[in-house]
Structure 1
């Protein structure tokens, strides 16, 4: 695997923020760093059995200055809060804005900037490998109320990576956590515009010029947001649709319709015809943010020296809807004492079946 270590912490010592903690086996090879509880390496085989890293990753020191959230756990509130303010139980709370008058991914010092404590890696009787990272976010951090105890668990089970976020609080608060990995199924290098994307959603959330939802879900039918059948990512990327022009590409929440009683629902399926790799995303969340890397502008260099631009990667971020604390008709993101927040993501890798 790619070596990210910045030094051996010694036997029994906890890894420092940018040491690579390795998971995985014969089907997937996964590396996590404690800074931002982030997914730093994810190596999967192509149709010839050749492994390549399919997530964008940086050199160790690069994560300390990363503002693109590469592979990070984002929170306390993923996505955007309008004006950085919300009212909960009659009290107004203010989160510092860090993008165009909104609080993005928890504000300027969100979870992506924090070092989590890593438990020892556990090997299960089935050969799975799992790692849990923990952090206590103090009351008032970035303006959010309540002391929040957070755990992020990564588990490699065959060709699947399971990511689970859990949290408890000592006072009413809002929580919305996800992983912000950037994917390129070719391996690093090459465009993703030929990847075939399927998002089985009948509705999406239109947004204003600050990427705040303008109302309730709108039908995808007859728009570039109709991705219910496999569609090359680049087909509509520059289409003259006002929503795509406003966000410089895809950066929208798609509404997931989870069947009653279902444990998880399909959020998206992506195929790369070149390598043969496939990615299926399953979740228990009400939405998935599809982001086409619109703000990748060549200033970020990966650990192999590659400069990445729009069209070089995409994100699929299962989560609650943006600005939910200010939208009473959206699914609630309120967490109260005695309750347990839980968010689950499954990244399932495979190969395109011969036709």
Structure 2
């Protein structure tokens, strides 16, 4: 039996835990012609949720679905290439029809076209050489969407990337095109809460209050517990309730870390899993990852790493500049603590959850606890 605990990608609802409330909210927004912004911490399962929504029968039957991950784009021309490929691959499924569409809508360019036999996807290089060509090509992509036979759902993943483009008019440019799309609904998702929130909540920004906001919470512990037990039971293996509870507690019910730990437990082929087995497998994971963790340490100043280690050992801290916390871990002055906090936040090594600063990487946080 295949390992049911996925750590990347989406297969089907069989391997997907819950998210019924969030799924229904997104589908309702789509059906009622509302664009939506989906915000979540990294590795909480937002991409899986998007694919889950796009794979629902209602969506597949009524809409074309375009998923566009722009995480690795750094300028408008790269965005246009990624977006254009995503749109053309979804709106046309055969190479001949794709070529006809390209010739019709992008006659001003001389794009190269190839077909990847492994992914079964067209790969188009629009050969954009300047900003004007990028804008014109983008406009034609939106014309292509407007002329689609069915309405379109467009999911822009890691949408906050556009804030770093050298073309400072990108937000306004996209807003202008998107608001004119009568037959399309957009999902804007991202894992940088402060960047994405600012885009949609700042009065002076083009996307100001233009979407419904949905923040992705953790999966309900009872639902996740049932999902884990069910998957082991289906393989004629047992995992006791204390072990499941322990998994959810030490991973903070953070989707990726729950999935990864359960994936490794499932891989072990151990028939009866208890808390002791969980700790043994977890320790193996932490030791395997030590190379990454030593790299983190080498990239930080002594002060920054000392603070990071202290936050990890405390399972988060609300007042890192408090006298008691500083004295307990010998962290120096309040000013150096405040400076280190800012640096660790910028490096995405810590984040704020509720009133506490937490180490972002759950396994790294657990490894820090092992240090003297």
TM-score by length of 2: 0.23
Q: Hey, which of these two has a bigger chunk of helix by percent?
A: 2
Larger Rg: 2
